[in-house]
Amino acid sequence: MTDEPRTVPDPQAAPPRQIPPEQASLEEVEGAQIKGRIGGEFSSVAWVVLFGPDNIMKEKDRVQPGPDGSFSFNLPPKGKYRIVLVPRPGLTLATRPSFHTLTIEEYGFSGVDFSVLKTVTAVPH
């Protein structure tokens, strides 16, 4: 037995925050990049766009997915960013997740993954 006091959890305390499955795969890494991969019909994706910092209307950077669906951005300045997939002209994408929101500090992220669930061809009016 020890003389150290024990702490009893407060029954009124908030339960641990549940992490959505889309964010559970994110991993903060010491690299200077944001990396991810697109699964599904990624050939329908024209661009992976990075918006920010702290402004989801301001485009910071855009990259084309690689032949294996991978993409990466150089680590941007500190702030909050949103990453969105943009379809090829004439197409609409259904993706999971719809977007990723990341708060960049001093480290990059890997596992910023998307899955293209469905591609729809736009019908002209």
Residue 4 — φ and ψ, nearest 5°? Answer: -70, 140
Q: What is the pLDDT of residue 4?
A: 60
Taking 70 as the pLDDT cut, the residues of the chain under it are: 1-31, 123-125
Q: Give the pLDDT of residue 78.
A: 93
pLDDT for 17 = 44
pTM for the model stands at 0.75
Q: What pLDDT, on a 0 to 100 scale, did the predictor assign at position 107? A: 85
Give the pLDDT of residue 108. Answer: 86
Domains of the chain: 22-120 (2.60.40.10)
SS3 sequence of 46-113: EEEEEECCCCCCCEEEEECCCCCCEEEEECCCCEEEEEEEEECCCEEEEEECCCEEEEECCCEEECCC
Q: Is the peptide bond before 53 cis (omega within 30 degrees of 0)?
A: yes
**pLDDT the model gives residue 119:** 87
- The pLDDT of residue 105 is 87
